[in-house]
Structure 1
């Protein structure tokens, strides 16, 4: 081939030119991969929710959010393991309101399905402070708190404990100095990203701090029976709103209540009657 002419296949490339071209391709590939990895890491960072590893910090974050929203719709499901019988399935729908001084009031329809019997549905209003009102054919009637052992009293006791269990910060606020966050893990509730918190209360420590004599005696009795921890699980979204809670508690004379509470539409208007005002 004559000197200085290119072949029909294209220009002649020297080894140095080939090396430089390869380096250029490698630089482009590294840049592309690094960019993709950076975008992926940025996306992961934006999807991660903040986590609280202190019970006090978790309580503060959720309480501030609740006192801003104040209201939510409530869906309940669970089971009562009676001390003298089989398990009773529990369900319910209603609404709750977070009170300014702490605690919640709720209005809901509670459905109990004892084994071998037809389901029994009863509408309740449980006001912060412990008042329980039951709806009958004539309106709202306050349940006689002194009528211990009666079916009506048992229904009311269950309703009051359901509301106590439905309060997503009940264990944290009452036993904050005896509670710890045992686990905080990413999770979802109905496809909504959440952080699932396992909160554990030291029963012995809680009994030492409890000011109510009856509650203190009950805690001491649990500790003496070998129940040294009370655990609850709480699912919190990116705005620190509770979306779900799971609790388990003992109702003296009735049995053990295992309850799952789902919260929706925080901040939406709800109607909670005030039967005591008209009584």
Structure 2
């Protein structure tokens, strides 16, 4: 799901990071430009028009399946220098509700690609594998290469959790649209969810997040939107997001999901660091 939000068992620090990334979104509505004009849309899939119903349906299915294979693609526009970002891996919903993910994160700038194996644990812990050794990098100093890798990895993982934003801003969100669509030839319903930032600020219990929300509202950004495709069994097939990472630039990401419920392998780097 789009723009960041938490509420799935993650720490307050991660919530702040997610919210700050969310609230810097430069466009109020995400483009649904991934057309399917050459595909046959199959109508009649169940649709949810209440935010609580959509969240319950997707969360229940996600928590039942617990695992999925991921393909993350996007672009980071850092100070006018575009960088392509790709992540191939898997996610797992943990017993406490948080999400763990592992993927090979590749960033390409000016034709030069740099890849790194990453593991993100609930609470925003980020581990990077260098020369076969896992090192925790989310606590690296701001401005360092390690911190930048960690920031991108956390936001990719947040994007990979299709219920994070919806859960955190559930009382300030509404389902603006629900239409039949297809993803890779599979029938789906495409949801456009809009978050009212004025209401979100009024209801936000975290002072730092509330201050960030209020600042964005004062600057004229009064709502943010996200897009989610789910199949007939309420399994997420795709999500799209656009957000600004402080000090890095605007990150646009599409997350594609497949093989829900199949076994995946995610390292436990805290045991090997």
Q: TM-score, normalization: structure 1? A: 0.79
Asked whether the equivalents of residues 231 and 248 of structure 1 are also in contact (C-alpha less than 8 Å), the reply is no
1:57 is the counterpart of 2:53: yes
Q: 2:133 and 2:230 mapped to 1: Cα distance?
A: 37
Contact 1:59 1:172 in 2 (8 A): yes
Q: Name the larger-Rg structure.
A: 1
Where does structure 1 lack aligned partners over 5 or more consecutive residues? 1-45
Task: Give 1:100's match in structure 2, choosing from 95, 98, 110.
Answer: 95
1:273 aligns with 2:267: yes
Give the Å deviation of 1:219: 2.1
1:40 aligns with: none
Name the SS for the 2:112 alignment partner. coil
Considering fraction of residues, name the structure with more helix: 1
Is 1:186 the counterpart of 2:183 in the alignment? no
- 1:225 and 1:102 map into 2 onto residues whose CA distance is 34
Task: Give unmatched runs, 5+ long, in structure 2.
Answer: 1-41
Bigger relative contact order, structure 1 or 2, given CA contacts below 8 A and separation 6+? Answer: 2
8 A contact 1:76–1:93 mirrored in 2: yes
Q: Quickly say closer, same or farther: Cα 1:192–1:144, change in 2 above 3 A.
A: closer
Task: Confirm or deny that 1:204 pairs with 2:198.
Answer: yes
What stretches of structure 1 move > 3 A for 4+ residues in a row? none
Question: CA offset at residue 56 of structure 1?
Answer: 0.6
Q: 1:110: how far off?
A: 0.9
- Contact 2:68/2:264, CA 8 A, preserved across alignment: yes
Relative distance call for 1:145 and 1:182 in structure 2 (3 A) is same
Shift of 1:146: 4.5
1:199-258 per-residue CA deviation (whole Å, 9 max, x = no partner) reads 111112222222333332332232222221111100010000000000112211211211
Question: Under a length normalisation based on structure 2, what TM-score does the superposition of the two structures give?
Answer: 0.81
Q: Which residue of 2 aligns with 1:76?
A: 72
